[in-house]
Amino acid sequence: MKTRFIFNPRSGRHARNARLLPLLRDFISARALDADLVATEGPGHATELARDAVHQGCLRVVAVGGDGTMNEVAQALLHTPAALALVPCGSGNGLALHLGLPLAPLAALELVAAIGGRVAAVDTGSVNGKPFFNAMGLGLDAEVSRRFNHLTRRGLPAYARTAFSAFVQRKSEHCTITAGGRREKIEAMLIAIANSDQYGNRAFIAPGARVDDGQLDLVAIRPVGLLGAAILGAHLFLGSIDRSPHVRRLRGSRFIIERPAPGLVHTDGETHPTSSTVEVLVHPRSLRVVIPATTRAIAPADDLAPAGFALQLP
């Protein structure tokens, strides 16, 4: 099977990545894979490399990196015969954890080589035309992503410090959310829309959400103080955030969010400026993904839904 490995040397911890590159080369050689290994050189490059892989007939394209690398690679694989495989080495690895993928590099590589793996079809999302695969968000969610992306050292402790700093300077917005033909006004400091159940690091922003149900889960968090934020943080990791009275959760295939002014959104942790009106859509069964054979809940990728939206690619 023709395969391309796309390696982001800037994802996660640099010391680990220095050891990962020779591991990748040795694995490809030892398995005699029909594969090449290419490294990204900057933002958007992974999408170009993945698109080229599809044009060359690769049926498996491996994103070696974090959620941002995953997003860039997956953009080029939508509605194609190629399957996305992940060797997660980022800070959160939200989609990988949701799919039950191993985080140990060698175990992930074994799955890539079709040992104990299968191909499934999963839903994807888009926000004002930009694709996301795990989660998107605005308000405090986007501000934390913006600050986190400027850090040289990543990981859960760094994310927690960044989130606390952004929370101290938080602002809320009066938004109108339209879902299923109903309009609802809410004051929110954070709105997240999830395809999977978590941000990453087992922080469950949408407990019970699935990547193959044709739905997205919107979670809006009303303004809270420091104590309320601490309680919400506990709920987040306990998988019970939607039990909080400060949380409004909706499910649907399309959301329109109207906010007072243009601002940032994030897609899988990468931030983008966008308009005051935010349209979020689900695209059912639009991406093939390699998952463990033991993950039975997700249906096989025997077919994919036809292409139904235009992406804003870099």
pLDDT at 314: 36
Rounded percentage of the chain residues whose pLDDT exceeds 90: 70
CB 176 within 8 A of CB 183: yes
Mean residue pLDDT of the chain comes to 89
Full set of structural domains in the chain with CATH: 3-124+284-292 (3.40.50.10330), 130-282 (2.60.200.40)
Whether residue 307 has pLDDT greater than 60: no
213-239 mean pLDDT: 94
Whether residue 81 has pLDDT greater than 90: yes
- Is residue 305 very low, low, confident or very high in pLDDT (cuts 50, 70, 90)? low
Residues 6+ apart with CB under 8 A from 89: 11, 12, 13, 16, 17, 20, 64, 65, 66, 105
pLDDT at 156: 66
Please tell me which residue, 151 or 130, carries the higher pLDDT value.
Answer: 130
Rounded percentage of the chain residues whose pLDDT exceeds 70: 90
Lowest mean pLDDT among 54-58, 95-99, 116-120, 302-306: 302-306
Cβ atoms within 10 Å, residue 105: 18
- Is residue 12 very low, low, confident or very high in pLDDT (cuts 50, 70, 90)? low
- Is residue 121 very low, low, confident or very high in pLDDT (cuts 50, 70, 90)? very high
CB 153 within 8 A of CB 146: no
Task: Label residue 264 left, alpha or beta by phi (over 0 means left) and psi (-120 to 50 means alpha).
Answer: beta
Q: Summarize pLDDT for 266-304 with one digit per residue, the tens.
A: 999 999 999 999 999 999 999 999 999 887 667 677 655
Whether residue 164 has pLDDT greater than 90: no
pLDDT at 171: 85
Tokens 């941000």 label which residue?
199
What are the structure tokens assigned to 28, written together? 């490809």
pLDDT at 191: 96
